[in-house]
Amino acid sequence: MAIGTSEKKDNCGTYHEVVIIGAGMTGLCQLHYLKREGIDALVLDANSDVGGTWYNNRYPGCRFDSESYTYGFSFSKEILDKWHWKERFSSQPENLRYTQFVTEELNLRENIEFDSRVKSAHFDDDNTIWNLTLENGKKIGCRYLVTGLGGLSAPTLPRIDGIDSFRGESFHTFNWPHAGVDLKGKRVGVIGSGSTGVQVISEIADKVGQLTVLQRRPNWCAPLKNGEITEDEMQEIRNRYDEIFSACAATSGGFIHAPDRRGFYNVSKEERLELWERLYDEPGFGVWLSNFTDIFVDEEANAEFSEFIAGKIRARVNDPEVAELLIPKDHGFGVQRVPLETNYYEAFNRDNVKLVSLQNEQIECVTETGIKTDKDEYELDLIVYATGFDALTGAFDRIDFRGVGGAKLTDKWANGPETYMGMFVSGFPNLITLVGPQSGSYSTNFPRAIETCVGWATDFLVDVRNKGKTRFEVTAEAEQSWCDEATDAMSKLLLRKAKSWFNGFNSNIDGHDKHQPKPYVYVGGNPRLGKRLAEVRDDDYAGVEVS
Ligand code: NA7
């Protein structure tokens, strides 16, 4: 049966040609592209509305680190012309509104079922069909299954004794109550200082009674430099959208920030300092991505730049001892994801903010009234866990995926993900893991890679239809070749050493609390990913067997 028709299958409840799991940016984009091709598709989402990341993360301070106007979808001139980004780095409520606006403009809502968490997805090879069971008991069948699960959608709490005994309020940032939280006068503890912790700490420091930051390892942060975008500026941005998206397409990270090609060692120390001072004063990721590429690969270059940033931290934090605690000593700048901040370091100059370094004292347990370490006890009304995610594979692990012969995806990925271009998994036919593990999307400005991957996947499905075929599966050889390519790309960067979710590291999950043997993210860059995808398409989708 060709794609484009929808029919009821007796054994599986309702049936659709394509089911997409997730109504975040990826799922919305994929749904629109399929509808454009006249392909019957249904989106399922566990949440009660669209937005994915922007629906869930409602903690104070949650916002883009991407320039807003580089984050939106580029495929609709009408949407680009209508939407006004109000801030250079837009905040979560506005970002959620954007996803809702896109949904209405593209008339996508009629193809989405909310409050529909997928429990299992089993491939029936005899009938070439995926059988899905939802948590609410509903059964849905589809020929092709596409996942847009989000790489950071499975939050993890720390493994600390007594977490459930706390009598005040406590939650992971991902589960920040939608109704909001009254912070006035409260004694708040925050565990975690990744980009989420940095955003929430900066935002609430002057709104709470007392803030205790429990920091295990500091990160290298840099100023966000947010600002308003006026109507005139927005009009000027609209006029330049083609140029902006072309610039993003040409950079490794899919941002407007292109690296300084002069080379660290080809310029004098004074010239380096001049560049760094300028970048530190500019908005966004420029300080990371418009730098010399040497800082990503060369320990010495990285150390010199890290020292420059350490100087900035020392200049911004009044107490020299606190400043030293905020300067990472175990990794250099940009080796882990760089949090962008607004007055983060200044927060530690406030009388109501206390930094507790977990290098100097260990958490023993959470008590009914706060957090007890081996040196002290902190009385709290609210505990915020900004402790990260079971990244990339976590959302897959939470669904019982079974491929050919009932093989479990969790078994296949027990020692790390194995994919072809972050899109296909051998032994799991008719499944497209859009922007999944080992895709390039997680090392880029997300929507730029989403559009690349969704466009490619749509072309692929149309090609299958045009060939009159109904089954596809990647070969084990092609999959291995992509793992090797992803490993090779990672091996060139200092990032390979990072204890970060980029490498599947998470101290709170068994098996993830050490360096992972396989790469979780493809770091070859956005242009290279696009080129590789195009090569595979032009080679009649080499590596993917269609029957
Ligand atoms: P991250 O970047 O994984 O950060 C998690 C933070 O929580 C990090 O500082 C961890 O310290 C800390 N953490 C985790 N477990 C513990 C325990 N058990 N005790 C103390 N501290 C702990 O997650 P984010 O949510 O900040 O950011 C995720 C991405 O979202 C981000 O990269 C953006 O792309 C958007 P550690 O560094 O491991 O010592």
pLDDT in tens, 100-148: 999 999 999 999 999 999 999 999 999 999 999 999 999 999 999 999 9
Measure the CA–CA gap between 438 and 493, rounded to whole angstroms: 16
How many angstroms separate the most distant Cα atoms in the chain?
73
Give the Cα separation of 112 and 116 in Å (integer).
10
| Residue with the larger pLDDT of the pair 430 and 498 | 430
pLDDT at 433 over 90: yes
On the CB side of 44, how many CA atoms lie within 13 Å of its CA? 26
- What is the rounded CA–CA span in Å between residue 364 and residue 374? 6
Average pLDDT, the chain: 95
Q: What is the pLDDT of residue 191?
A: 98
Do 529 and 449 touch, CB atoms closer than 8 A? yes
Count of CB atoms within 10 A of residue 273's CB?
13
pLDDT of residue 3: 43
Is the C-beta atom of 328 inside 6 A of ligand 1?
no
Is the pLDDT at 61 greater than 50, yes or no?
Answer: yes
Q: What is the mean pLDDT of residues 316-342?
A: 97
Ligand 1 atom closest to Cα of residue 388: 23
Residues 67, 68, 69, CA angle at the centre, nearest 5°? 95
Ligand 1: distance of its center to the CA of 386 in Å?
6
Contact 143/128 with Cβ under 8 angstroms?
yes
What pLDDT, on the 0 to 100 scale, is given for residue 184?
Answer: 98
Q: Tokens 């109704």 map to which residue?
A: 179
Supply the residue whose CA is at minimum distance from atom 14 of ligand 1: 387
Ligand 1 atom with the shortest distance to the CA of 193 = 9
Q: What is the pLDDT of residues 176-212, one digit of tens each?
A: 999 999 999 999 999 999 999 999 999 999 999 999 9
Q: Please tell me if the CB atom of residue 306 comes closer than 6 angstroms to any atom of ligand 1.
A: no
Which residue from 174, 199, 200, 179 is spatially nearest to 189, judged by alpha carbons? 200
Tell me what pLDDT residue 400 has: 98
Return d(Cα 528, Cα 485) in angstroms, integer: 11
Give the position, in ligand 1's atom list, of the atom nearest the Cα of 501: 3
Query: Which of 64, 163, 173, 193 for mutating ligand 1's site (highest number of atoms within 8 Å of CB)?
Result: 193
Q: Does domain 7-50+108-154+390-474+524-546 have CATH number 3.40.225.10?
A: no
Q: Which pLDDT band holds residue 41 (cuts at 50, 70, 90)? A: very high
Flag whether the pTM goes above 0.85: yes
pLDDT above 90 covers a percentage of the chain that reads 94
Ligand 1 atom with the smallest distance to the CA of 192 is 7
Q: Confirm or reject: Cβ of 394 under 6 Å from ligand 1.
A: no
What are the C-alpha distances in Å from 264 to residues 312, 487, 499? 20, 26, 26
Which atom of ligand 1 is nearest the CA belonging to 197?
26
Opening angle at CA 143, ends 139 and 148, nearest 5: 80
The predicted pLDDT at position 186 comes to: 98
The label of the residue with tokens 């009254």 reads 182
Condensed to tens digits (0 to 9), the pLDDT of residues 236-253 reads 999 999 999 999 999 999
Q: Residue 440 has what pLDDT?
A: 85
Rounded (10°) angle between helices 446-466 and 241-250? 90
pLDDT score of 4? 38
pLDDT band at residue 514 under the 50/70/90 scheme = confident
SS3 189: strand
Q: What is the pLDDT of residue 513?
A: 87
Over residues 287-308, the pLDDT tens digits come to 999 999 999 999 999 999 999 9
Q: What pLDDT score was predicted for residue 12?
A: 52
